[in-house]
Amino acid sequence: MLNLDFTQRVVIRTAEQAWLASPAVGASRKLLEREEAERGRATSVVRYEPGSAFSTHEHPLGEEIFVLSGVFSDENGDYPAGTYIRNPPGSQHAPFSAHGCTLLVKLHQFNTADTATVRINTNEATWLPGQGGLQVMPLHSFGTEHCALVKWPAGEVFKLHKHFAGEEIFVLSGEFIDEHGRYPAGTWLRSPHASQHTPRVEQETIIYVKTGHLPVGY
């Protein structure tokens, strides 16, 4: 198991990680959290080589994808960088990439009642006003879980706040900062239930953020 103690704060700067070979020819990955070798809960950055194609496979407890670069495809369509995808429990597809792509992938983490299929091209979706100078792009909500992109204007400082059922961040651009450190683009952070911080930025920064999805009853 890798990083499955949800009481612990985890910070991984993926730009500093080496790519590891995947059992699927044409794919490599950087592991962020993993339950078993090729089963169960997993969060990874995955790279598809140009021309990669994979056989049809099922997602027993769902698959969540954010396309970081290139174009990801399956039999249902082509998804450019900036696309957010949710394939619900029991769904299946045969993914491929004609020219290569890089993805943030989360597997086996859905509530079985969360059956929504989601496809959002965030390059075309609307930013909504958030607290202070923030802009927010909601992606998905189910129960206490909320997923969104958040755009921080240069110099923005947010108030001290606490995370019910945790918080997970992937820094897409710029640099995210709090009292614990500085997190450049490509950094993955997972903070446990009841953790708190006072985040800020110095330059415009966009983060993918998920809250309310981690265990609370340790």
| Tens digits of pLDDT across the chain (218 residues) | 899 999 999 999 999 999 999 888 899 999 999 998 667 899 999 999 999 998 898 989 999 999 999 999 999 999 999 999 999 999 999 999 999 999 999 999 999 999 999 999 999 999 999 999 999 999 999 999 999 999 999 999 999 999 999 999 999 999 999 999 999 999 999 999 999 999 999 999 999 999 999 998 75
Segment holding 139, helix H or strand E:
strand 135-142
Q: Whole-model pTM?
A: 0.96
Cα(150)–Cα(153) distance, integer angstroms = 10
Q: What structural domains does the chain harbor?
A: 10-121 (2.60.120.10), 128-211 (2.60.120.10)
User: Phi-psi bin for 174: left (phi > 0), alpha (psi -120 to 50), beta?
Assistant: left
